[in-house]
Amino acid sequence: MDQRKRSHPWKKRWNLCLVGGFILCCTGPLQAQTGSEIFLIDLRKRAGQPILGTPQNVTQRAGYDNQPSFHPREPLVYYASFDDRGRADIKQYHWRKRATQALTQTPEREYSPTVTPDGQFLSCIIQRDNGAQDLGQYPLKGGQPMILVDNLTVGYHAWASQEALLLFVLGEPVTLRWYDVITRKDTVLATSIGRSLHKIPGQAAVSFVHKESATRWVVKRLDLATRHVSDWAETLPGREDMAWLPDGTLLSSDGNQLFWYDAGKAQWRAIATPASLKGITRLAVSPDGKKLAVVVAE
């Protein structure tokens, strides 16, 4: 089914225009965020263990650059970036050309850019000045943006299929919800979850972090066919950011060092981590497993 037909139109409060295939419009008031940088690292495995290359800072500016994700086929990293007026927009970095390009310049704030399963759109969280946080999508080849979810306060998202989403929804407590894009029906699957929602490579499954208590956080596996939830591993203490390699290896960090989860021994094992990576938070791995994006403190 055509994605354009089943999504209702963008709720316009400003006139949008397309310049070079990208959305452009006016900017708004200031909102501060902690400064962060994105490093891109060559990644390979030797004797079953991840090996890192030399980190390359691909943002290199003062301010917030965060929430990286990869295009499924092209050498592109998308991320959220604050401008000097306090608005977060989506940018892309082409690592072969070493070129950065702004994809959006809007009156609000866009976060968590994610290529949709059909490869035609970039979905993202839209944080509005009235406190709403919707989920919308921008056509990668240009055209009018559309809203997917505007009846929930969405913090993070992952695609289960072309017609279904997994949503981190803000509230007391925060919830994991299955959202049908066509019917707009949502179903609560879990409560007290973390912000990391990831499709598990090679499986019809998504991982999320369940914060069972103040001291026990568990990576859970959600089967997309049955919606059955099972334990995968305990997280590193107090850490919820992670990423999957194509072979099913799970990566995470304690903030200063990267780790991989050895499922055979049910333990986290340290990866030799360059000293330049400090204050590590979010991670992303390219679909071919050859690039790792790491967010660090500025």
Tokens 């990267």 belong to residue:
258
* Rounded-to-5 percentages of helix, strand, coil across the chain: 0, 50, 50
Which tokens belong to 92?
């892309």
Give the domain range for residue 111: 24-297
Distance CA 278, CA 285 (A): 18
Distance CA 54, CA 129 (A): 40
Residue 6 lies in a domain: no
- Given a cut of 50, whether residue 2 has pLDDT beyond it is no
Tens digits of residue pLDDT in 235-285: 999 999 999 999 999 999 999 999 999 999 999 999 999 999 999 999 999
Q: Are 113 and 122 in contact (CB under 8 A)?
A: yes
CATH code at 229? 2.120.10.30
Distance CA 148, CA 142 (A): 17
Tens digits of residue pLDDT in 15-43: 333 233 444 333 333 345 789 999 999 99
Residue 255 lies in a domain: yes
Residue 49 lies in a domain: yes
Residue 282 lies in a domain: yes
Residue 13 lies in a domain: no
Residue 19 lies in a domain: no
Bigger pLDDT: 4 or 233? 233
Q: Which long-range contacts (CB under 8 A, 24 or more apart) does 1-8 make?
A: 1/163, 1/182, 3/116, 3/118, 3/120, 3/121, 3/137, 3/162, 4/146, 6/163, 6/181, 6/182, 7/137, 7/146, 7/147, 7/148, 7/181, 8/146, 8/147
Structural domain count, the chain: 1
Distance CA 80, CA 102 (A): 10
Tens digits of residue pLDDT in 125-163: 999 989 899 999 999 988 788 999 999 999 999 999 999
CA angle at 260 for the pair 161 and 157, rounded to the nearest 5°? 25
pTM for the structure as a whole: 0.89
Tens digits of residue pLDDT in 38-97: 999 999 999 999 999 999 999 999 999 999 999 999 999 999 999 887 789 999 999 999
Helix (H) or strand (E) holding 3: helix 3-6
Residue 33 lies in a domain: yes
